[in-house]
Structure 1
Amino acid sequence: MISDTIVAPATALVKQAVAIIRLSGPDAYQLINKVFSKKVEKKENQITFGYIKDDSKVIDQVLIMSFVAPHSFTGEDVIEINCHGGVLVTTQIISLLIKKGARFANPGEFSQRAFLNNKINLIQAEAINDLVNATNETSLKFAINNLQNSNLHLIKKYRDQLLDIIANIEVNIDYPEYDGVGDVSAEELTEKLVSLKAEITRIIKLSKIGKIINDGINVLILGEPNVGKSSLLNALMQEEKAIVSNEAGTTRDIVEGKINLGPLTLNIIDTAGIRDTVNEIEKIGISKAKNEINRADLVLIVIDSSRELSLDTKKLLTLTADKQRIIVFNKIDLIDPRKLALTKFKTERIALISTVNNNIEALVNQIMESYYFEELTKNDSLVLVNLNQISLLEKVENFIKNAYNNIVNNYPVDIVNVDLHSAWYLLGDLIGENYDDNLLNTMFSKYCLGK
């Protein structure tokens, strides 16, 4: 039971036109009436103009917005004070409310109370933080979709399907002597489980791509010296981020940049040219470049179209064979593109570009095709971008897979039911039907103040 009343700035503590201070809890009305020049009645959705006062001293001229439980974000009595946006005046009002009996809120505590009061579920709670931290149009769309709660029915549908299977099995266990009661064949069970697993697998696949998009796609630029890697970085960034020179080995360390490419965010990493060298500093740069391969989501192998494919480039192609990649033929302005030997790359994504002419549209299109597709942002698509949420779904998938295998291998149905119960319970964890207080505290502590 929540018994105290909390206060925090809902806007950043910076100089601005208007600041908002949020007060939530059972004593919200009592506290505001201790410091406000007018009586704030406990009525629905009022806006009241007046002054915040410390006894006879006027601190600020404000607008008070009042909400009565349960018709507020937190589900509690809530007062929002719209004051002038100076840092000093904002902190003075907060300090005054604390002096009168409020407690300064922990990060994310307003959202935590909204969850505990059944105003939002855990998917919506995560979406609030995702919305605040969104860096591109797609991650913003993920957050809005999940915040609207339009996809909760999917999780409930999967739980209902599992519950139906569990109930049928338990009837067969408890009343085996009655024919036709809860009777379900192994074939029917496996068919239902295959269908359910396929849906869960689809959401996991979309969510993993969604997480990469939400965090920013780590794009690694690799190639021999002097093939135009740094020029490509500069063309993508639309600024002179890296030094460009005709001298091989100019880039000897990691150069990073971040851009929004339409609905995607790219974390671009330019590296030293890969070649055999005796220069110790260049060797360190090449070693760093190779180490970056592991954390890259997408590798751009840059090749000079005007030169034969070298041994170093062939080694790079082998080194990155298991990575998602695009083969980028640069300096296409120097040759007839029809003479390029592309047959050996017929299973690869290919982009023909010219960084000297800033002609990189083909590469941009390939990146977009690799990561952005319509199903991700459809209103009825559930895309979870939190690692813990995806992990829970993967566990659900594994339990359903185990149940299926146990049925196929003629294990007793009560053993099958153990896995199905676990999958059903984990889906509850996903929306917050079951939760651990410590886990909740950790999760909401990542939010900003006032959320």
Structure 2
Amino acid sequence: MINDTIAAISTSFGEAGIGIIRISGEKSLDILNEIFQARKEKDMSKVPSFTMHLGNIVDHNQDVIDEVLVSIMRGPKSFTGEDVVEINCHGGLIPLHTTFERVLEAGARLAEPGEFSKLAFLNGRIDLTQAEAIIDVIRAKSKQGLNSAVSQLAGKLSDEVRGIRHEILGLLAAIEAAIDFPEEDIEDVTYEKIKHTVAFLTKQVEKLIATFAQGKLIREGIKTAIVGRTNVGKSSLLNALLKENRSIVTDIPGTTRDTIEEYLTIGGISLKIIDTAGIRKTKDLVERIGVERSKEMIKTADLILFVLDISTGITEEDKEIISDIKDKQAIVLINKIDVEDDEKKRKEIEKFLTPIPHIFISAKDEIGIEQLEKLIVSSVLQGEINLGQDLIITNVRHRDVLVKAQQSLQEVSRGAEKLMTLDFLSIDLKEAWETLGELSGDTVGEDLLDRIFSDFCIGK
């Protein structure tokens, strides 16, 4: 399959100004010659690399399918390391699909998900962390997520890990030399030196692992649940934050019966906002399921937006919810100040809520929403996300590999403390070196590659 010429539509479906078809492989230029008529007649197999050409895609009868621009990128200095052709068609469904069918008829095979990126990895154009960063760039939900993905795409994580592997390899070489040539005049490898070096390397690995908690928030968004009793204005709050009517709002309690999820960016931070069903005792089976989901969401959310109704004050149901969120990162919103805004009630509510962060709002009239956004940013950034940090682990696979390497290094340290023979120490040290190689793909199996690239979109 690695010798096949592959093709895919690399832009999303639907009407657009441009649609792009990508072809990669040794037959790319031959296929282009068969289906493309340049405005100025020329042999496309002989044109210079990194040039664009205007012309028409034609069918078997030489009838014009579409007027296109064609880009030529010759291997090995292309993304995949092979000859690559990109056909820039008009972005309508018919011209794009008709042109793509013509490409397949001429000898290309439909690419599998992520196959272009997989070829780039196999041909040494990028390593595995850079390949994974491509999909993170595409799926970035915030500016922070994009910055982190671009950093990994530039190879910063790979460089960091290669540095650690280089240090491990140096220590491993010294240990192996001491084992194989005990009589030779080789610098002694003392247990103190081993412990000192391994402690330094372990600290570097642990430093990367420690960034995963905030990296997960950057990549997936902060799971933010809007909770509260029925009819306190949760759906109105969601609509106010999104600045659109996403949730149905009525005066009838229990209108929202299931969770509604939307992504929102506030201050460069991606939030996964979840509007939950109102929490109350009910005999309605469907609503009861929604209430149970709301309670479960309180347990799993990273941030809680708890909505109260100032007109009713704090009820027993509210007190139960406050008890459930007391150990969570939460902001309390006292809603409906457009309906009633009694100073005495304000003071009573504030006295009960202290020291929980809280503000008075009108979700309906969007009063206090800007203040809420600032409070969300300050709450999240407090000890959670370091905006200035350059290298952050966002991928679960990367975290798992680093943890596994950390455990191997800790085994070396324990062995050195017990003065175990050098050959035993070298086994765990080699395990750490090989494990870290899984990050860049230096020591990775084909089954893992297939699993990673299967998550990519077709055409990338």
TM-score interval, normalised by the smaller of the two chains: 0.7 to 0.9
> What is aligned with 1:103?
109
The correspondence of residues 74-93 of structure 1 with structure 2, limited to 5 A, is 74-93=80-99
Q: 2:362 aligns with which of 336, 348, 355?
A: 355
Cα RMSD over matched residues? 3.3
> What is aligned with 1:292?
297
> What is aligned with 2:177?
171
The correspondence of residues 207-356 of structure 1 with structure 2, limited to 5 A, is 207-224=212-229, 229-242=234-247, 253-274=258-279, 277=281, 279-281=283-285, 283-302=288-307, 312-313=317-318, 315-320=320-325, 323=328, 325-328=329-332, 330=334, 334-335=342-343, 340-341=350-351, 345=355, 350-355=357-362
The correspondence of residues 47-196 of structure 1 with structure 2, limited to 5 A, is 47-59=52-64, 60-176=66-182, 181-186=187-192, 188-196=193-201
- Cα deviation, 1:271-304, whole Å, max 9, x if unaligned, reads 34445x4645565443222122343222334456
AA partner of residue 94 (structure 1): F
Count of aligned positions = 444
Q: Structure 2: which 5+ residue stretches go unaligned? A: none
- What is the CA distance between 1:97 and its match in structure 2? 2.8
TM-score, normalising length: structure 1? 0.85
**CA distance in 1 between partners of 2:246 and 2:22 (Å):** 43
- Cα deviation, 1:376-411, whole Å, max 9, x if unaligned, reads 555x72223232222222222222233333333444
**CA distance in 2 between partners of 1:396 and 1:239 (Å):** 47
- What is the CA distance between 1:121 and its match in structure 2? 1.0
AA partner of residue 25 (structure 1): G
- Cα deviation, 1:250-272, whole Å, max 9, x if unaligned, reads 65543444322232222222334
**CA distance in 1 between partners of 2:55 and 2:252 (Å):** 70
Matched, 1:418 2:427: yes
Deviates more, 1:191-200 or 1:141-150: 191-200
**CA distance in 2 between partners of 1:362 and 1:54 (Å):** 60
Q: 2:209 aligns with which of 204, 208, 214?
A: 204
* Structure 1 counterpart SS, 2:22: strand
> What is aligned with 1:19?
19
- What is the CA distance between 1:119 and its match in structure 2? 0.6
AA partner of residue 39 (structure 1): D
- What is the CA distance between 1:175 and its match in structure 2? 4.1
**CA distance in 2 between partners of 1:129 and 1:4 (Å):** 23
**CA distance in 2 between partners of 1:4 and 1:243 (Å):** 52
* Structure 1 counterpart SS, 2:224: strand
* Structure 2 counterpart SS, 1:83: strand
Matched, 1:446 2:455: yes
Q: 2:409 aligns with which of 388, 393, 400?
A: 400
**CA distance in 2 between partners of 1:428 and 1:296 (Å):** 34
> What is aligned with 2:392?
383
- What is the CA distance between 1:115 and its match in structure 2? 0.9
TM-score, normalising length: structure 2? 0.83
AA partner of residue 208 (structure 2): I
- Cα deviation, 1:111-167, whole Å, max 9, x if unaligned, reads 111111111111111111122222222222122222222442111111112222323
Report the identity percentage: 35
**CA distance in 1 between partners of 2:117 and 2:101 (Å):** 22
- Asked whether the equivalents of residues 29 and 42 of structure 1 are also in contact (C-alpha less than 8 Å), the reply is no
Distance 1:73 1:278, change over 3 A: closer
- Cα deviation, 1:400-426, whole Å, max 9, x if unaligned, reads 233333333444443333232222112
**CA distance in 1 between partners of 2:282 and 2:87 (Å):** 67
Q: Structure 1: which 5+ residue stretches go unaligned? A: none
